[in-house]
Amino acid sequence: MHFALTEEQEAIREAARDFLSKRADSARLRKDMLLPEGHDPALWKEISGELGWAGISLPEDVGGSGLGMVETAILLEEQGRCLYGGPFLASAGLATALLLEAPASEARDAILARLAVGEATAALAVTGDSGRPGGDAVALELVEGPAGVQLRGHAAFVLNGNVADTFIAAAHDRRPGRDGLAMVAVAAGASGLAVKTLAAMDLTRPYARIECSNVQAVDLLVDGGGVAVARGLQVAQVALAAEQLGAMQAVMDLTTEYARQRVQFGRVIGSFQAIKHRLADMMVICEAARSAVYYAACVVDEYRSDPATGAAELAEAAALVKVYCSSGFHDVAGNAIQLHGGIGFTWEYDTQLFFKRARATSNLLGSPQYHREVIAELLGLDAATEAP
């Protein structure tokens, strides 16, 4: 399949790159990292509201632009290039992916309407302490209380959870006569809910842990929603991979430019064959990742237009792109550190920031090892290796 961006999509990319290069460069990133929010709220307000990025893939009937995953991937790729730490990925990429799997309801549409215009942000709370995205790792429970349903338990590694207005969570349904997972929404200010910012390796954006002690202010979005949660997480994996693509391309460009300038033994190091081979390998990884990301983004758009026939392809594409982009980003960032030599991990150089982002996102929504197991299961390889 030959894929090329349309003129409108290229215009979105050019506008996003121009804006972010001026407003979210390295110097700005280092200042924003020190803010309590982990990002500049004024810049986020401009991105989400004035530019309309927050609602780019949301339906027009809730105030969105009605565009698709390809356009969202373009914005995420450009944000990955500058390691933007605001809640776009967390809200418009991850939480929205699950919300769009829930059937239309007053509660769901009210949340989407606020997200679409940048009035609020949402965060995804689906993993327990293991960080694995599967249902067996969910540590939240939905129970029947004296005054209705209640949420108890916790969720870890909640991206940008410190600034979220709403949490979109998966919870084991422990109500009488119920089973499986439920998808719920809970407001950040709900009584009984506590949000704690975590110390993380990646300093470019915060992670949080939420703890629920019989929280009653819960909107039940999907009852028996194991399939909806799984499909939403698959779309979320594609969004994360798009951001990883932009970051790996940026750190490769940074390293290539350094190799053109650094002189050793009277020659720029980029002229040495061993360095050329490393850079060529990094370029191949980036180009393959780009193909995987935009293929997966097209699969998401096809799935949303016809869920019945697109579900199987979505599961495969999401696992594949998560494996490749997580592993590829880690390899490219690691090579960048090595090719920069001793200064590669110093605070003054951005290579260490890219490497830390690569490590953090590698495990977010499931490690490459986890998704290789998923791919093996989808292909039937796990059954083939079982003893008779």
**Residue 136 CB: number of other CB atoms within 10 A?**
8
DSSP conformational letter for 269: G
In this structure, is residue 283 part of a structural domain?
yes
Rounded alpha-carbon distances, angstroms, from residue 188 to 55, 200, 225, 371: 21, 21, 22, 31
Stated pTM of the model: 0.95
In this structure, is residue 2 part of a structural domain?
no
Inter-residue contact 81 to 124 (CB < 8 Å): no
Q: How far apart are CA 95 and CA 99, in angstroms?
A: 6
Domain count, the chain: 3
- Same domain as 341, residue 259: yes
Q: How far apart are CA 133 and CA 364, in angstroms?
A: 9
Per-residue pLDDT of the chain (388 residues; tens, 9 = 90+): 567 899 999 999 999 999 999 999 999 999 999 999 999 999 999 999 899 999 999 999 999 999 999 999 999 999 999 999 999 999 999 999 999 999 999 999 999 999 999 999 999 999 998 888 888 889 999 999 888 889 999 999 999 999 999 999 999 999 998 889 999 999 999 999 999 999 888 999 999 999 999 999 899 999 887 899 999 999 999 999 999 999 999 999 999 999 988 888 889 888 889 999 999 999 999 999 999 999 999 999 999 999 988 999 999 999 999 999 999 999 999 999 999 988 888 989 999 999 999 999 999 999 999 999 999 999 888 665 554 5
Give the position of tokens 């609602």: 55
- Same domain as 348, residue 234: yes
What is the reported pLDDT for 122? 97
- Same domain as 210, residue 89: no
CATH number at residue 160: 2.40.110.10
Q: How far apart are CA 114 and CA 124, in angstroms?
A: 16
Query: Partners of 140 in the beta sheet?
Result: 153
- Same domain as 104, residue 199: no
Residue at which a domain ends, from 120, 140, 155: 120
Domain that holds residue 148: 124-222
What is the reported pLDDT for 384? 55
In this structure, is residue 1 part of a structural domain?
no
Q: How far apart are CA 370 and CA 363, in angstroms?
A: 9
Give, for 298, the enclosing helix (H) or strand (E): helix 273-305
- Same domain as 188, residue 268: no
What is the reported pLDDT for 131? 85
- Same domain as 168, residue 63: no
Give the residue among 261, 359, 371, 364 at the shortest CA–CA distance from 316: 371
Inter-residue contact 229 to 173 (CB < 8 Å): no
DSSP conformational letter for 246: H
Q: How far apart are CA 94 and CA 366, in angstroms?
A: 13
Inter-residue contact 345 to 352 (CB < 8 Å): yes
Q: How far apart are CA 279 and CA 329, in angstroms?
A: 14
Q: What does residue 264 show for φ and ψ, rounded to 5 degrees? A: -140, 130
Q: How far apart are CA 130 and CA 139, in angstroms?
A: 10
Q: How far apart are CA 213 and CA 236, in angstroms?
A: 27
Q: How far apart are CA 334 and CA 251, in angstroms?
A: 10
What does 32-92 look like in DSSP terms, one character per residue?
HTTSTTSS-HHHHHIIIIIS-GGGTTS-GGGT-----HHHHHHHHHHHHHTT--STHIIII
Residue at which a domain ends, from 222, 238, 265: 222
Q: Which amino acid, residue 154?
A: H
Inter-residue contact 167 to 87 (CB < 8 Å): no
- Same domain as 236, residue 196: no
CATH number at residue 367: 1.20.140.10
- Same domain as 90, residue 52: yes
- Same domain as 144, residue 101: no
What are the pLDDT digits (tens) for 160-181? 999 999 999 999 999 998 889 9
Question: Per this entry, what is the length of the chain?
Answer: 388
Q: How far apart are CA 302 and CA 363, in angstroms?
A: 27
Rg for the chain, CA atoms, rounded:
21
Residue at which a domain ends, from 205, 222, 239: 222
Rounded alpha-carbon distances, angstroms, from residue 141 to 132, 134, 136, 145, 171: 17, 15, 12, 12, 5
- Same domain as 135, residue 108: no
What is the reported pLDDT for 199? 87
Give, for 267, the enclosing helix (H) or strand (E): strand 267-268
What is the reported pLDDT for 383? 64
Give the residue among 98, 117, 87 at the shortest CA–CA distance from 185: 98
What are the pLDDT digits (tens) for 312-365? 999 999 999 999 999 999 999 999 999 998 888 898 999 999 999 999 999 999
What is the reported pLDDT for 266? 84
Query: How buried is 46 (Cβ within 10 angstroms: 0-12 exposed, 13-18 middle, 19+ buried)?
Result: middle
In this structure, is residue 341 part of a structural domain?
yes
Q: How far apart are CA 261 and CA 238, in angstroms?
A: 35
- Same domain as 242, residue 135: no
